[in-house]
Amino acid sequence: MQEPSQSQFDEGIHRSMDLFKRAQVGEVGALTPVQPTRIFVALDGSSQDQAVAVLVQRLQKQHSVVVGYIDLALDGTSPATLNGQKFERTEGEAYDKVLDCAAEFDADLLVFPCPFGRDFDAVGADSAGTIVDVLAARSTIPFIAVRRTNPAPAQSLEHIRLIFTGENEAAHLTARWATGLLAKGGFLEMLLLVEEEFYGNFRETMQSIDPEREVRYSDLKDALAKIYAPLHAALQHTSLDQGFRYRLHVQHEGALQELTPTNPETHAVMMALGLNRGHHDSISEVHDYIRRSPHPVLVVSVE
């Protein structure tokens, strides 16, 4: 099958946006935002620690949260300072220490530098680190991975971008966390990203049901619009109730500048991703976005 041209893709985008406007989703109320109450922080002595501390301080000010932390810097002491309950170092792998201490602290949110134990400037986008791998696979607690050393995290709570690439069981809970973390009067976006691979899988599935059917690119965008119309309507209601700005995007995966602006200082934003821990593809996708993003990334998981 011939792949769509850019003009055909753009036409499909407009069709999907029109579908959102026409969608009959019934009675949809506002979401109930989820706000953190107990945050556990892992410091590693890397150049990302200060950015982690700035973000946590902002969360403390915004939500009056209780903070617990552990300092796992190789030289014994991180340059960052936190106001909270300090946990002592123990023997073992860093990820086991983080998970054990977070459970002992009864944390409802984890925050840590990424890649853990390495300066981002030395590793770059080549790796997200072992901590991300393990937390994505094991932890049911939402976490925020902080990638850079600049002050962007201080403003990132004012602009949060939800990203979904297909039907996502964690979408609703992720949206509740995003609205709960968003600063008063902030800006929330929901971006539905149409990926080439997802389109291919969608086409194969539809043609397995009906081999004679011609599956168009716009069919996928229409399907995404139908799936997310209720959440879109709920976010519209929530924005009015909570007093923040909200916008929806449907976008092709090739337009990555909109997805991950390269300058975190001028495009301060937090990415918010839903993770289905039972799906390998979902874990791989979250890992890839964290690796590529120059921004803090919130990950909310479901089984």
pLDDT tens across 89-117, in order? 888 888 899 999 999 999 999 999 887 76
Dihedrals phi, psi of 189, to nearest 5 degrees: -120, 145
CB contact at 8 A, 111 and 41:
yes
Residues 299 and 155 in one domain: yes
Q: Assign 53 to helix, strand or coil.
A: helix
Can you give the pLDDT at residue 218? 65
The single-letter DSSP state of residue 231 is H
> pLDDT by residue (tens digit) across 216-274?
656 666 777 778 888 998 999 999 999 999 998 877 665 444 555 556 555 668 999 99
d(CA 276, CA 12): 28
The domain in which residue 280 lies consists of 1-30+150-303
**CATH code (residue 122):** 3.40.50.620
**How many whole angstroms from its chain centre is CA 113?**
15
Q: Do 70 and 179 share a domain, yes or no?
A: no
Distance CA 182, CA 246 (A): 11
Same domain, 22 and 77: no
Overall number of domains in the chain? 2
The full DSSP string for 179-217 is: HHHSPTT-EEEEEEEE-HHHHHHHHHHHHHH-TT----H
Same domain, yes or no, for 142 and 163?
A: no
